[in-house]
Amino acid sequence: MCRFTTLAVLVPVTSFYTGTQAAETELEEAKVAGSEVAEAEPLWELGVGAGALYGPDYPASSEHHLRGLALPYVVYRGDMFRIGDGQTARAIAYESDRLEFDLSFLAAFDADSEHNELRGGMPDIDYLFQIGPQLTIKLADFRFEDESHSRLSLALQARAVFSSDLTRIDQRGYVFEPMLRYRHYDWLTPNLDVTVSLRPTWGSEHLHGYFFDVDSEYVTPERVAFSADSGYFGTGLNVYASYQLTEKSSVFFGLQTSFHHGAANTNSPLFEDQFTVGFGGGFIWSLFASERLVTE
C-alpha cells in the first residue's frame, strides 16, 4: 500500500502491505547464547530525523513517487508503553525471554489520485492507520567469531485498518501479516546493524476494495468496473540497514521488494505490477535524553 512511517518516530522506507514496514528502527537488546546482553539506555530521547522514500503509489502500482519527511525523533522505553525502540508504538501486555505480546500501532502515507494515471478521477487514498495485537516469538540467537551477534524472530500480527483525511475516520477492514525477521548486529563492522524480513500478507474484502474496487461511477473505456475479494495480498522481502555515526546520530537505508504473484485481485484494472521495488534513507539525531537509564 502506501509507504509506512511511525506515528511519532521517523522510520526508513516501508510500505503498507509488502512490508516496506521499510523498515524498522528497533533498537531491541540482543539476548545471545542463552544469556542476556543488555545495555542501559535513557528512559526517553528527543531529537530530529529526516528522510526520503521512493516507492509505488499503492500496492501493485507501476507509478512511483518520491516523498520527503522530517519529524521529531521520539523514543520512550517504559515498562508497558514504548515508542521507537520497538515496532513504532507498542503497549506491552506480556514479555519474557522468548515471547512478547503487545498492542502495536502503524501509520501510512496518503496517495493523490490526480497524480496517478490509472486512478485519475477516483477518490484519493487517505492516510492509513493500523492497530492490533502482535505476538513476537524469539526463535534463535547467534554469536559469531567476529563478536557480532544476531537474532531470528517470528511476529504474528493482526490489525484493524482505518483511513483518515484528517477531517473524518473510516474503518477499512483487517490485515493479517506474519513476519519472519533476521537481525544482525555489528555486521562486517561495529555500529552497522542489518535486518532482513519476509512478510506475507492477507487482507479482508473491504481492505482490498479500498485499493482495487472500481465503482460504476468511475468506469472509463480504460477502467472497467471491479469488486475486490478478500485473500492473499502479496509478500514483502525487505532489507534495512542502520549505522551509528556517533553516540547521538545515525543514518539508515531501506530496500523493499513486493511480490504480488498469486494475489487475490490481479484482475482489477488498478492492479499493474506483480513485482515492485522501493527504497529510501535518512538520518536521526538525538538532542536530549533522560538521565534515568533503563534496561529492557
Residue 211's SS3 state is helix
Residue listed under C-alpha cell 522510520: 11
- 115-137, pLDDT tens digit by residue? 999 999 999 999 999 999 999 99
Amino acid identity at 71: L
Strands 169-176 and 179-185: unpaired
Report how far residue 108's alpha carbon sits from residue 206's, in angstroms, rounded to the nearest whole number: 17
pLDDT for residue 13: 30
- 145-157, pLDDT tens digit by residue? 998 999 999 999 9
**For residue 26, pLDDT beyond 50:** no
Report how far residue 255's alpha carbon sits from residue 257's, in angstroms, rounded to the nearest whole number: 7
Average per-residue pLDDT for the chain:
85
DSSP notation for 93-133: EEE-SSEEEEEEEEEE--B-GGGSTTTTTSPPB-EEEEEEE
Residue 126: HSE in the Cβ half-sphere, 13 Å Cα cutoff: 17
Q: Between the CA atoms of 240, 57, 266 and 162, what dihedral angle is there, to the nearest 10 degrees?
A: 90
Report how far residue 71's alpha carbon sits from residue 91's, in angstroms, rounded to the nearest whole number: 22
Q: CB–CB of 243/251 below 8 Å?
A: yes
pLDDT for residue 14: 34
- 199-246, pLDDT tens digit by residue? 999 999 999 999 999 999 999 998 999 999 999 999 999 999 999 999
Report how far residue 186's alpha carbon sits from residue 174's, in angstroms, rounded to the nearest whole number: 36
pLDDT for residue 21: 37
**For residue 2, pLDDT beyond 60:** no
130 burial (CB, 10 Å; 0-12 / 13-18 / 19+) is: buried
